[in-house]
Structure 1
């Protein structure tokens, strides 16, 4: 790649910041009663300004912003356009805008992906949680919302309003009524809606405005100009321009009270007075959403006209002629046109012939490409008939963008290209399939890969290899090691000249395959022997293809063997390096966090595991592989079980089952059912356990013929669950007979963790059978193995009687010092300390009378006060609706009430009495 192209992997500062900063106001701000009204409404949940273009919505909000900044309010400002009318594009702008306040606000939400309703709702919940942690008030301004008609965007904004924390205030400016439900907010007095009548200048405000723009003006002239415009902001501004320039002679005054009058007046009084050079420059400006002087000159085909363009822009800015300067760090000032003026000019542009229009777009494509504004360049290339050239450019940038973690930018670029251009290029076809896989649209991914299968000739070995890698990546996400094995011969023989991204992906897929086949040393060898892979001269560290992801998988192979201490070191090192990689390290950071959580749980560091994982479930479900999602949800379920939160423990299993069912992942569903059976048996719920066991048998029957693959775990886990069932029923002989071959399999496959766990279960069975000597020997075997590997929860969770057996051996045997110390540590284990009921999580005191409520119950009670239904409370807190109901019954009991309304009133009474 050329030096010039190497800069295209980062977004231009001008284009990136333009959407996230309000327009600069030219001239002084006129104090208005409307500003005071908005100032008093600053703590409301939602403020809406609606009215036609030019009625002063943006100017009013910009002035209001200047009032609030000294009061400690943080602003995220999004100026929207028709190009944002696509769900994922809008969400990305939204997250970027809030990240401008504090990157932590939207860091996790920005990593989520998906178009389906549930995925978007989870993104909004994650964003809301980020906003709630911000210490200051957050104003989110959405200017020109009328450009967005996508129902998915409207639904996302509705969730943002419904779930908004107290410190979020949504401000909307739109030409029409926003398609959002504000009824609840109106009833609670949390919404302010202003229309065109509210936005009009009063006669007194009109006079102040005219004096600020024209200097001295008589009261009579001010009154007449107010009557001509009816206080319409755009009309006043245009009359000021006319007053300065034309000194109108006698005649009938022109009224400028609406959009059509504006267009007619502007064409007559402004466009009609321009020179042909200025008019041509202005006409070409309208083609671009934003522009600078040199771009305007290039659009006309005369680069030497930059001086004329600069002079015109300076005059328009000086005269407040509907030209809005943008904030940026470049050498030139960038601008955009007022929407009314741009619409007027584009009507003239549409009258040009198709050939002339394409020529202008082609010049825009050339200039924007040369100046590294890639996304806008591609758009103009397609409009200018240069789609093949744009596709070639995107194709050349695919691997560099992917390697640096700019996958979303790559996705946006591919979406702008015509489908026939994507279909004709292997690289872009692979990118499209990867994009669909990223969104977890497995059906579309499969169709894309099938098209590539038919279009890539057998002679194109690099292309066929890239296809095989993508097929294996799909298999990995579907937890289908058999499908990955089908392309294994191709993966083992990469052709000469294979690109680094495909080679890196291949290495990581092979590692995953080998570890699920129980070939742990081979899995690690793949990573230790992988060559250094460079993209644009830099090591391929992050992304799913990078070495950090591979090291995580190598660590997982250690954990699957039971070598938790070694695995922990690997995960922590990867986390440290992934943080330094920025966005390219997101995949590795997610996977390392998930796997580290499993280690922390195993070492009985329950609070640390919860703290690490609880806020990342949504992110992991959207970004990471099924193995990491499985481990996170199982760990969180186990942690809640240990702290006595049985309902929440089962809620995490519900979520695992929902995830597994949605993606048709039987192995993950098996893990959920096995854990349910284990806990049902501990609770004495034999009927529930038997029902789950029957479901397990049905799943195992579907995979009866698999061998030595990831799905082979289903048979293994089902047998283990049936052994527990036999133990619970007292069928100890059957249990012991079935257990022996399982232990042998674990030993043969070097799954030391599983072997240790089953040895302890065998000890429990022998103890129940009265074979105490045999039980003691098995406990000693498990302890020696556990001490070598650093295991804790593996021995303690296998059965409620395990701890007592360890105690008996520790007190009845003379153990060597290391084993004795290890046994003492096991015996000292207890459930994590719960938060004291009189103190909240942040250390603040709980209101008198509410001391008995837990932290979670307080959270639910506060959401209850916002009139949210159980389902939305569950979404906001990451719980199941059943868990919310369980908490509500506890809240009612502790507060001595019997309904939601009574609970809220009780909370308000206690709040009022504490003030």
Structure 2
């Protein structure tokens, strides 16, 4: 996608100046030498420009930027400010800058944004950005300007991740006045870094002379040399001199350079400040200086904002005239963008520092007055973040808090809870505590960040503090409490407050009504009342917010349709699941962040449906591209499906270690979140895989844990117990079959079939009936086996099941063929002279699906053998990657590798991705074979 240019009509109105590259009207003609170096180094991973203020770092990169655009590069720009020293603000700026190039780069990162700023969350965000960039064909250059404003070690760590994980098509330019604690040693060793300092950036005498003549016309060599020596080749110093001489020539018709520059030295930023005071501000009228001083409070400016800053104290014509003169003379002001009839500018950083110093000398009353004017203007023009910031600087925190309250619901509707989190972060704690509504929004954001301990504490305090007669606030707290229950997978707690959920107060807004409907559908679905869950959605009124349909957000129509899809999945009606999830996913992807959660839910359901219909590779591709984001942002039911489907898909392809790794990852997720039901699913699947591999000790250990979970859940969480008990019983049946204890399996199966049938899980009933038929066959009870198998096949055909049948047993298709074609004797009622054509057709489909899966596994294995046999690979691994791969050869899961090396599981996953690429493999199993082939220990 081509880069969105700052002056493009499609540029977002009011885009933050920090993500827009400044524009100079007059090109600095003397940058060819340095720009040539930068162009030559455009393929390097990192470019560092380090030098004091005024030495032309930003100007040089602007020229480089213009040179790269015709070469097919995309360019992103982030200018940092003191407020970006906060980690959340830094990461938010990073995401926003890349979104200016292509919003698709930040789609997954935006889902993660606002859900916490712990190291794992930030690392996941960085990895999401890197993966999106790596998937693009175009090279992307990211300029991070004024990095010296960031001193937070955690922000430096985030930047380090970005550099370490950067794909070959990402090139990062770091611009700073001083050094910064980011390691570039590895990249230096690989000759992937270009570093330029003051010695490289200062003008040579020839460049200074060229620049001065471009600005002033004829300049003698002696005068040019004197100005070059006075400024030591600093660009801003030369610009100051050129401005000064232009003014003198205008006022007296000529200028004696030697006399004008006597005793002037501009070798450091303080000298620049002194010179601004003496040579610029001292020559302006008092009203002009006053305007400039007031302008300095804003990071960006436009004409109407400047008029507002001076109010009635200056005529608007004078304000506009000064702004036009500054722009026309290219004096210490740079254009950012043009939106509608407004042109936005940014003051030269050195000049702004000088002006801000003057402002600090003014009375506190005046400073607050200027910020008050700024916050009112930004508020009236819908620029929320700047409005809140200036309201706080104006000493009006209550106004800032009210502004956040005013825009919060709109931000929720647009799916921009990340921005809401940023605004809440600006507010003083006391202002939030003083307002019940803001505390409810804080609870919403804590839920968004999955900070359940904070949620519990906030709910308890709000329950005590909300007055009994504040019906609306108490109902909203009820919905948020139920939403926490959904994320905690606690259907019992949600059911306990069902009467309160049903008691919807009059005048409840549409977002809350939508959330109520979706919560009720989830609750009924989890209790097996699927028809009631779907009726809630089908009977709901058409909801609107601000005149637009309520599509996205957790209370929107798309989420409701996803819950309907989940209800069909629990029943085993996957044809309905596929239809719904495909439609929702297509619409959610079009709507972007406002429908992000619906996209996650739909992807999980579609992946399950694709696997069920034997599109194993399609299911894996769909989910593996989204798994990291899904794990972080979706509800437990969605995460459960993603991990179990990916494990099953890898197992079908013959990737045993990868299949087990996804189950271990599900176990880790469930343990971390305290989700006993999901832990039971992970353990049951691991029992089955261990038994199939003949690893009986591991299977027995996991089965014992599964029994303990079921026993613990029975008295307190009957809903979760139902699942855990069924999983434990199925695992015991698998244990019996693995040990040829067919009588033991036969004793458990009838009750298990009835248990699953009670909750409407018809695909589980099909599996268990087919398993029961196999058990009866092996017990010699042929008539019973045939009858049970026919019931299972008829139900399976009606539901369109494929993998649910194939995964029962490797010989299930041959067994089904014998049953359908009367290869087994049956009862008199079941015997027929002709073969049932419907069931015969169904069995043929199963046979074709089995053959297709076998061909896929064979193709995958053959490709793996070719890759493993290919030469090379080990020499390209870094020291850390070699350590990771040696532990991988010991069949360690990611979590254990992370603990062993003292790194995060996210970092392990990233190393594995790089290792796979370098070794030419695509799975753990192939990597282990390759490692052993190379002799890496």
Instruction: Check whether TM > 0.5.
Output: yes
CA–CA separation in structure 2 for the residues paired with 1:337 and 1:239: 18
Would the aligned equivalents of 1:47 and 1:191 in 2 still touch at CA under 8 Å? yes
Would the aligned equivalents of 1:837 and 1:854 in 2 still touch at CA under 8 Å? no
Residue number among 821, 826, 833 corresponding to 2:856 in the alignment = 833
Instruction: State the Cα deviation string for residues 487-539 of structure 1 (Å, max 9, x = none).
Output: 21100111111122121111111111111111111111111122222211222
Alignment correspondent of 2:251: none
Would the aligned equivalents of 2:652 and 2:857 in 1 still touch at CA under 8 Å? no
Please report how far the alpha carbon of residue 290 of structure 1 lies from its aligned counterpart in structure 2 after TM superposition. Answer: 0.7
- Correspondence 1:898 to 2:935: yes
Alignment correspondent of 2:877: 864
Please report how far the alpha carbon of residue 169 of structure 1 lies from its aligned counterpart in structure 2 after TM superposition. Answer: 0.7
Alignment correspondent of 1:210: 212
- Correspondence 1:638 to 2:648: yes
Alignment of 1:297-376 (within 5 A): 297-302=307-312, 305-376=315-386
Distance change (3 Å), C-alpha of 1:92 and 1:608? same
Q: Secondary structure at the match of 1:14?
A: coil
Alignment correspondent of 1:912: none
Would the aligned equivalents of 2:483 and 2:519 in 1 still touch at CA under 8 Å? yes
Alignment correspondent of 2:557: 547
Alignment correspondent of 1:58: 58
Counting matched residue pairs gives 879
CA–CA separation in structure 1 for the residues paired with 2:729 and 2:281: 83
Distance change (3 Å), C-alpha of 1:173 and 1:818? same
CA–CA separation in structure 1 for the residues paired with 2:762 and 2:516: 28
RMSD: 2.6
CA–CA separation in structure 2 for the residues paired with 1:163 and 1:861: 19
Would the aligned equivalents of 1:575 and 1:593 in 2 still touch at CA under 8 Å? yes
Please report how far the alpha carbon of residue 303 of structure 1 lies from its aligned counterpart in structure 2 after TM superposition. Answer: 7.7
- Correspondence 1:584 to 2:597: no
Q: Secondary structure at the match of 1:485?
A: helix
Please report how far the alpha carbon of residue 708 of structure 1 lies from its aligned counterpart in structure 2 after TM superposition. Answer: 4.4
Q: Which runs of 5+ in 1 are unaligned?
A: 1-9, 841-849, 901-915
Please report how far the alpha carbon of residue 805 of structure 1 lies from its aligned counterpart in structure 2 after TM superposition. Answer: 1.8
Greater CA drift, 103-112 or 448-457 = 103-112
CA–CA separation in structure 1 for the residues paired with 2:402 and 2:697: 62
Q: TM-score, normalised by structure 2?
A: 0.90
CA–CA separation in structure 2 for the residues paired with 1:68 and 1:444: 47
CA–CA separation in structure 1 for the residues paired with 2:533 and 2:262: 87
Please report how far the alpha carbon of residue 767 of structure 1 lies from its aligned counterpart in structure 2 after TM superposition. Answer: 2.2
Please report how far the alpha carbon of residue 47 of structure 1 lies from its aligned counterpart in structure 2 after TM superposition. Answer: 0.6
CA–CA separation in structure 1 for the residues paired with 2:72 and 2:874: 28
Q: Secondary structure at the match of 2:719?
A: coil
Would the aligned equivalents of 1:30 and 1:205 in 2 still touch at CA under 8 Å? yes
Would the aligned equivalents of 1:52 and 1:176 in 2 still touch at CA under 8 Å? yes
Residue number among 738, 745, 770 corresponding to 1:728 in the alignment = 738
CA–CA separation in structure 2 for the residues paired with 1:251 and 1:719: 92
CA–CA separation in structure 1 for the residues paired with 2:577 and 2:879: 45
Alignment correspondent of 1:669: 679
Distance change (3 Å), C-alpha of 1:772 and 1:560? same
Please report how far the alpha carbon of residue 649 of structure 1 lies from its aligned counterpart in structure 2 after TM superposition. Answer: 0.9
Alignment correspondent of 1:817: 837
Please report how far the alpha carbon of residue 596 of structure 1 lies from its aligned counterpart in structure 2 after TM superposition. Answer: 1.1
- Correspondence 1:393 to 2:432: no
Alignment correspondent of 1:165: 167
Would the aligned equivalents of 2:770 and 2:792 in 1 still touch at CA under 8 Å? yes
CA–CA separation in structure 2 for the residues paired with 1:492 and 1:879: 51
Distance change (3 Å), C-alpha of 1:463 and 1:862? farther
Would the aligned equivalents of 2:17 and 2:300 in 1 still touch at CA under 8 Å? no
Alignment correspondent of 2:814: 804
Would the aligned equivalents of 2:565 and 2:580 in 1 still touch at CA under 8 Å? yes
Residue number among 762, 765, 772 corresponding to 2:772 in the alignment = 762
CA–CA separation in structure 2 for the residues paired with 1:460 and 1:567: 41
CA–CA separation in structure 2 for the residues paired with 1:627 and 1:713: 12
CA–CA separation in structure 2 for the residues paired with 1:739 and 1:238: 88
Alignment of 1:537-686 (within 5 A): 537-686=547-696
Distance change (3 Å), C-alpha of 1:266 and 1:859? farther
Would the aligned equivalents of 1:837 and 1:853 in 2 still touch at CA under 8 Å? no
Instruction: State the Cα deviation string for residues 224-249 of structure 1 (Å, max 9, x = none).
Output: 11110111121111111122224464
Distance change (3 Å), C-alpha of 1:88 and 1:280? same
Alignment of 1:405-444 (within 5 A): 405-444=415-454
Residue number among 910, 916, 920 corresponding to 1:875 in the alignment = 910
Alignment correspondent of 1:92: 92
Please report how far the alpha carbon of residue 15 of structure 1 lies from its aligned counterpart in structure 2 after TM superposition. Answer: 2.6
CA–CA separation in structure 1 for the residues paired with 2:748 and 2:694: 22
Q: Secondary structure at the match of 2:191?
A: coil
Residue number among 124, 135, 138 corresponding to 1:122 in the alignment = 124
Would the aligned equivalents of 1:860 and 1:873 in 2 still touch at CA under 8 Å? no
- Correspondence 1:853 to 2:867: yes
Distance change (3 Å), C-alpha of 1:457 and 1:14? closer
Would the aligned equivalents of 2:521 and 2:536 in 1 still touch at CA under 8 Å? yes
Instruction: State the Cα deviation string for residues 784-807 of structure 1 (Å, max 9, x = none).
Output: 000011111111112334233223
Please report how far the alpha carbon of residue 92 of structure 1 lies from its aligned counterpart in structure 2 after TM superposition. Answer: 2.9
Q: Secondary structure at the match of 1:47?
A: strand
Distance change (3 Å), C-alpha of 1:27 and 1:684? closer
Q: Secondary structure at the match of 2:178?
A: coil
Distance change (3 Å), C-alpha of 1:243 and 1:562? same
Greater CA drift, 246-255 or 348-357 = 246-255
CA–CA separation in structure 1 for the residues paired with 2:261 and 2:641: 81
Greater CA drift, 140-149 or 16-25 = 16-25
Greater CA drift, 259-268 or 799-808 = 799-808
Please report how far the alpha carbon of residue 835 of structure 1 lies from its aligned counterpart in structure 2 after TM superposition. Answer: 9.5
- Correspondence 1:288 to 2:288: no
Q: Secondary structure at the match of 1:291?
A: coil
Please report how far the alpha carbon of residue 341 of structure 1 lies from its aligned counterpart in structure 2 after TM superposition. Answer: 1.2
Would the aligned equivalents of 1:516 and 1:710 in 2 still touch at CA under 8 Å? no
Please report how far the alpha carbon of residue 865 of structure 1 lies from its aligned counterpart in structure 2 after TM superposition. Answer: 6.5
Please report how far the alpha carbon of residue 679 of structure 1 lies from its aligned counterpart in structure 2 after TM superposition. Answer: 0.8
Q: Secondary structure at the match of 2:338?
A: coil
Instruction: State the Cα deviation string for residues 57-112 of structure 1 (Å, max 9, x = none).
Output: 10111111222222222211111212333333333332232233333333222222
CA–CA separation in structure 2 for the residues paired with 1:474 and 1:883: 38
Alignment of 1:407-556 (within 5 A): 407-556=417-566
Alignment correspondent of 1:4: none
CA–CA separation in structure 2 for the residues paired with 1:499 and 1:817: 55
CA–CA separation in structure 1 for the residues paired with 2:460 and 2:471: 17
Alignment of 1:218-257 (within 5 A): 218-246=220-248, 247=255, 249=259, 252-257=262-267
CA–CA separation in structure 1 for the residues paired with 2:671 and 2:293: 56
Q: Secondary structure at the match of 2:664?
A: helix
CA–CA separation in structure 2 for the residues paired with 1:364 and 1:661: 49
Would the aligned equivalents of 1:18 and 1:328 in 2 still touch at CA under 8 Å? no
Q: TM-score, normalised by structure 1?
A: 0.92
CA–CA separation in structure 1 for the residues paired with 2:687 and 2:313: 75
Distance change (3 Å), C-alpha of 1:879 and 1:491? farther
Alignment correspondent of 2:36: 36
Would the aligned equivalents of 1:640 and 1:648 in 2 still touch at CA under 8 Å? yes
Distance change (3 Å), C-alpha of 1:187 and 1:864? same
CA–CA separation in structure 2 for the residues paired with 1:69 and 1:86: 32
Distance change (3 Å), C-alpha of 1:769 and 1:472? same
CA–CA separation in structure 2 for the residues paired with 1:829 and 1:598: 16
Alignment correspondent of 1:747: 757
Instruction: State the Cα deviation string for residues 247-270 of structure 1 (Å, max 9, x = none).
Output: 464683201011111111111111
Distance change (3 Å), C-alpha of 1:584 and 1:670? same
Please report how far the alpha carbon of residue 877 of structure 1 lies from its aligned counterpart in structure 2 after TM superposition. Answer: 5.4
- Correspondence 1:106 to 2:128: no
